[in-house]
Amino acid sequence: MGFVVMPDETLEDLQLNGLFILQKKDSFRFGMDAVLLSNFVTAGKGKNVLDLGTGTGIIPILLSAKTKAGKIVGIEIQQEMADMARRSVEGNDLGDRIEIVKGDIRKAVSLFGKSSFDVVVTNPPYTRVGSGFINPGDAKAISRHEIFCTLEDILKISAEILKPSGEFFMVHRPERLADIIDGMREVNLEPKILRLVCARVGKEPSLLLVKGLKNGNPGMKILPPLFIYDEKGEYTHEARIQYSMDR
């Protein structure tokens, strides 16, 4: 496969089209939110996709298998993460479809140009930075807290970089829903589809998936909740589908 695996890294089998990804043993590792988002995204044949905050490149790699998108670009501010993503892309022989760019999300428009992508996807930091100290060099903290970009940054940049009628896909926390809807409409990303994710029946949602349309007309469809576990504590049929090629 051509992977170079460092001593502090693991090679994870994605159980999908023979794909693998490199991850740090003791740092931020991708979770179900990235998998759910990749299955929520629709990207037609030849569409250009941008992943804001790609981390180790999990979403572009999954989208390469789950969609017919043409070029998929992932931008990541952390040098070490971007290097890992590049090695994973090369090892999977996906260099013709995926490009990893080391850069600041807030400079994405100047890097790529306005109205340059058909689809934007993002699994951004969920937590606002409070008054407590957070180490800006901590990879986990950067992935989880709005240190280098805020929700408002993500939405503004997505609106500028999307083509007319371009599509926006994001996974986030339900407690930020009001901010998300208000923020999307502020930049003319009309919320079109919303789905809540619950651990099991009777539990409050822990994640949300939202799709927006640049300059879209008002009107949002709310899908039935996605339940991860059944009454026996096993993955539901729909949750298992998230890890397969079925859509």
Domain that holds residue 135: 9-241
Q: What is the DSSP letter of 225?
A: P
CA dist., res. 68 & res. 167, Å (int): 15
CA dihedral (203, 28, 32, 168) in degrees, to 10, reads: 100
> Does residue 136 fall inside a structural domain?
yes
In tens, the pLDDT along 156-166 reads 999 999 999 99
> Does residue 200 fall inside a structural domain?
yes
Q: What percent of the chain has pLDDT over 70?
A: 89
CA dist., res. 74 & res. 127, Å (int): 21
> Does residue 18 fall inside a structural domain?
yes
* CATH number of the domain residue 28 falls in: 3.40.50.150
> Does residue 246 fall inside a structural domain?
no
| Strands 205-214 and 189-198, sheet pairing | antiparallel
In tens, the pLDDT along 101-141 reads 999 999 999 999 999 999 999 999 876 755 444 545 555 54
Q: What percent of the chain has pLDDT over 90?
A: 77
> What percent of the residues of the chain are helix, what percent strand, and what percent coil, each to the nearest 5?
30, 30, 40
> Does residue 4 fall inside a structural domain?
no
235: helix, coil or strand? strand
Q: Is 56 within 8 Å of 30 (Cβ atoms)?
A: yes
pLDDT at residue 92 greater than cutoff 90: yes
| pLDDT for 38 | 96
Tokens describing residue 9: 């890294």
> Does residue 3 fall inside a structural domain?
no
> Does residue 218 fall inside a structural domain?
yes
pLDDT at residue 142 greater than cutoff 50: no
Domain count, the chain: 1
| pLDDT for 242 | 86
**Binning pLDDT at 50, 70 and 90, where does residue 185 land?**
very high
> Does residue 1 fall inside a structural domain?
no
